[in-house]
Structure 1
Amino acid sequence: MQLTAPATRRTGIRDTDGMAVAAFVLGLLGLLVLNVFLGPIAIVLASVALWRGTARRGRALLGLGLGVADLLVLVAFMSADNTMSWSL
């Protein structure tokens, strides 16, 4: 009887689904504040979730795109101000 194997697999799937959602939320939040930190975290979480085979693939891809957008917004504001930081 292998009753523990499906429960363990389900926990792993929930973890990767959580990573995908966290990547999306952090990427979205990173567009507004702390994009130098939240952008790379969103990219890493989304990449790990995709690598582990999340069921929320679309959410992970959005998190990955938003993480990259965070860094692009940071670069755009930094080049406009000619400084290492930006503010509105």
Structure 2
Amino acid sequence: MHLTAPAGTGRTGTRPRTRDADGMAVASFILGLLGLLVLNLFLGPIAIVLAAAALWRGTARRGRACLGLALGVADLVVLVASMEVAGTVSWSL
């Protein structure tokens, strides 16, 4: 159901759209997976933020958002572990 805001507010709805939240959940999952291989310093935090936003907005894809959140955290853990093993502030395959 689409709710309308009072006249003059400039907004067309008062509830966040679940379709946007579903897209965020899927994007967080994909970025979390990609972050395990490349650019985990950037993709990990983005995956975490997108997953948190999707969960906050009430996504229908709750499992995918939770996986995106876990993968985002895993990206950062992989980065820290790789830096410790290599003894540098960066890593490469």
TM-score between both structures, scaled by the size of structure 1? 0.89
- Which runs of structure 2 are paired with 1:28-47 in the superposition (5 Å)? 28-47=33-52
The structure 2 residue matched to 1:27, chosen from 29, 32, 41, is 32
Answer with 1 or 2: which has the greater Rg: 2
What letter matches 2:88 in structure 1?
Answer: T
CA distance in 2, matches of 1:62, 1:68: 10
Percentage identity across paired residues of the two chains: 72
Which 5+ residue runs of structure 1 have no aligned equivalent?
Answer: none
Structure holding more helix per residue:
1
Unaligned runs of 5+ in 2: 5-12
CA shift, 1:10, in A, is 8.9
1:80 paired to 2:78? no
How far is 1:5 from its partner? Answer: 2.7
| Count of paired positions | 86
Q: Which runs of 4+ in 1 moved over 6 A?
A: none
Across the aligned residues of Structure 1 and Structure 2, the Cα RMSD in angstroms comes to 2.2
Structure with more contact order per residue of length (Cα contacts < 8 Å, sep ≥ 6): 1
Tell me: CA distance 1:59–1:9, structure 2 relative to 1, closer, same or farther (3 Å).
farther
Supply the AA of the counterpart residue of 1:45. Answer: L
> What amino acid does structure 1 have at the position aligned with 2:57?
R
